[in-house]
Amino acid sequence: MKRIVIATGLLAISFTAAPAATLDTVKQRGALVCGVSAGFAGFSTPDSQGNYKGLDVDYCRALAAGVLGDPSKVRYVALTAQNRFTALQSGEIDVLYRNSTQTYLRGATLGLRQGPINFYDGQGFLVKRDSGVKELKDLKGATVCVAQGTTHEVTLGDYGRSNGIDWKPLVFDRTDTMYQTFFGGRCDVMTQDASALAGAVTTAAPNPADYVVLPQTISKEPLGPFTRNGDEAWSDIITWLHYGLVEAEELGVTSANADEMARSGAPATQRLLGTAGDLGSRLGLDNKWMLQAIKAGGNYAEIFERNVGKASPMKLDRGLNATWNKGGLMYALPFK
Ligand SMILES: N[C@@H](CCC(=O)N[C@@H](CS)C(=O)NCC(=O)O)C(=O)O
């Protein structure tokens, strides 16, 4: 009898290795192509003139300043939760800064590198203040608005199953539709990164005071950049950019005093800013790349405070995003 072997199993997906030298491409093009969110208050959102603003956007600007000497040399590509990683795999963007959670599977299966965390977040829940809901167990049987293609979809199901909460997910492929639906009263609760919930309340709630983010989060959502595998030189730049912005905060270097600190700062400060040593050239960059990056939008604290901190509409605490010596997790590897 003829033996028929049917090959089943996983479809092997191979990602064409993108041209390795992203740094050269960016320099030749004279612009950075940065993948961001189309609309996420505090992280990436266009203002009335169409100029993108936010914490993720400030990383794109700092990178363009470091690599090209000009923070405005960025072309922003607005991406959804669903198409963000393919845009990077296909080479459409140079780097992804889009409130993207770093996970084992994303790191192991997408052909992408995960850079250092620029915002420690967690999955939170938003309810109407007068709903009487105080904690997650009050949400039994609740209809939950959740976005497709996110970590939240999976975590919501897992948490419900292990805690006996039979919530009913209502899944959206567009965040704007999800906001309309939730604020229109069709879901009892909406779940997202806690930062995104704070942003949604400031931008989309008819009356922000009517809503409250529950104190509990159900996951770790470490948000950070993604780059393509196989281009270590470029990934290193993305890595050290973040450490440089945090190191600047630790050393007290700000957008306002950076030039002065470059002239007269301590040796560690001058190494960071490129007036001592030649650290920049080791990454194929100008030695003053971090000076340019910091002058563009400030150190990590300035970027945080301006976009999502107490002085911004989102009013978030530093929390885990404080530096390690102030009770947080932000810790820059040394510049030496
Ligand atoms: N951090 C999560 C969620 C990221 C995400 O895409 N969040 C949605 C809302 S939950 C968002 O930012 N939407 C804005 C948009 O689609 O432009 C992940 O990486 O999966």
The whole-number average pLDDT for the span 218-245 is 98
79 lines ligand 1 (CB under 6 A): no
d(CA 11, CA 14): 9
- pLDDT tens for 123-159 read 999 999 999 999 999 999 999 999 999 999 999 999 9
In total, the chain counts a number of residues equal to 336
Residue type at position 100: S
Return the closest-CA partner of residue 176 out of 298, 45, 281: 45
- Judge contact between 57 and 44, C-beta under 8 A: yes
Which of 152, 171, 195 to probe ligand 1 with, by most ligand atoms within 8 A of CB? 152
Structure confidence at residue 20 (pLDDT)? 63
Cα–Cα distance, 120 to 193 (Å, whole number):
10
pLDDT bin (cut points 50, 70, 90) of residue 276 is very high
Ligand 1 atom at minimal distance to the Cα of residue 146? 10
Tell me the three state secondary structure of residue 243. Answer: helix
Taking residues 55-76, report their average pLDDT: 98
Q: What is the pLDDT of residue 39?
A: 87
Packing angle of the helix pair 232-251, 300-307 (nearest 10 deg) = 80
Whether the pLDDT of residue 241 is over 90: the answer is yes
**Percentage of the chain lying above the pLDDT 90 cut:** 92
Span 22-120+223-326 CATH architecture: 3-Layer(aba) Sandwich (3.40)
Q: How far is the CA of 150 from the centre of ligand 1 (A)?
A: 6
DSSP helix/strand/coil, 114: strand
Per-residue pLDDT reduced to its tens digit, 253-269: 999 999 999 999 999 99
How far apart CA 14 and CA 109 sit, in angstroms, is 10
Tokens of 167: 């919530």
Pick from 191, 192, 218 the residue to mutate for probing ligand 1's pocket: most ligand atoms within 8 Å of its CB. 192
Q: What topology is assigned to 123-219 in CATH?
A: D-Maltodextrin-Binding Protein; domain 2 (3.40.190)
Specify the pLDDT at position 2. Answer: 41
Residue from 194, 198, 189 nearest 151 by CA: 194
Provide the 10 A C-beta neighbour count for residue 272.
31
The reply to whether domains 22-120+223-326 and 123-219 share a CATH topology is yes
CA 219/CA 269 separation, integer angstroms? 36
**Four-residue CA torsion sign, 316, 303, 104, 93:** positive
Please list, residue by residue across 198-235, b when 16 or more beta carbons sit within 10 angstroms of its beta carbon and e when fewer do: bbbbebbbeeeeebbbbeebbbbbbbbbbbbeebeebb
The pLDDT value given to residue 267: 97
pLDDT at position 287, please? 98
Task: Return the domain boundaries, the chain.
Answer: 22-120+223-326, 123-219
Lowest-confidence region among 46-50, 113-117, 176-180: 46-50
The ligand 1 atom nearest the CA atom of 44: 17
Question: What is the atom index within ligand 1 of the atom nearest the CA of 79?
Answer: 17
Q: What is the dihedral of CA 13, 19, 23, 26, to 10 degrees?
A: -100
